[in-house]
Amino acid sequence: MNKESIIQELKFKAVRSSGAGGQHVNKVASKVELSFDLQNSSALTTIEKDRLLKKLSHRLSKEKVLILWSEETRSQHRNKELVIQKFLETIEANLRVPKVRRKTKPTRSSIEKRLKQKKRSALKKTNRTRPKLD
């Protein structure tokens, strides 16, 4: 994955931010929307595209476009940096291949410890019962 080529494929749009802010918020478009066309990206391999399509399917639009936004700060430039950072973290996290889990056997000593503990607790509970008067 080449970060520079992916960043060049990003499209940005500045929108008015929601929430309180007084008169200034009505004049300034500080919220930044990032869109990334996953299907038509030349920066990703087909394997990477397939993995991202599978893992990010709930976050993609019908046209297979990933849309992220940031409205954390009042600065459009800072919001653009934040949304790029969020985008790269999302892509890297979803491209990571999880380790394959290998089955392991419990060791002989761990089995013996478990059985000894089981016998101890069973003995403890039998000692709690009333003695039989035969």
Q: Which helix (DSSP H) or strand (DSSP E) does residue 16 occupy? A: none
C-alpha–C-alpha distance, residues 131 and 78, integer Å: 77
Query: Quick check: is 76 in a domain?
Result: yes
Query: What's the pLDDT band for 54 if we cut at 50, 70, 90?
Result: very high
113 inside domain = no
Say if 114 falls within a structural domain.
no
Q: Which amino acid is at 114?
A: R
CA–CA gap between residue 30 and residue 73 (Å, rounded)? 8
Could you tell me the pTM of the whole model? 0.70
CATH number where 69 lies: 3.30.160.20
The rounded distance, in Å, linking the Cα atoms of 71 and 13 is 12
Q: What is the Cα–Cα distance from 133 to 131, expressed in whole angstroms?
A: 6
What b/e sequence results for 6-16 when a residue is b if at least 16 CB atoms lie within 10 Å of its CB, and e otherwise?
Answer: beeebeeeeee
Domain of 73 in residue numbering reads as 3-95
Q: Residue 9 falls within a domain, yes or no? A: yes
Q: What confidence category does residue 21 fall into, taking pLDDT thresholds of 50, 70 and 90?
A: low
Average pLDDT along the chain: 90
Examine residue 80 and state whether it is found in any structural domain, yes or no: yes
Domain count, the chain: 1
Reduced to 3 states, what is the DSSP secondary structure of residue 115? helix
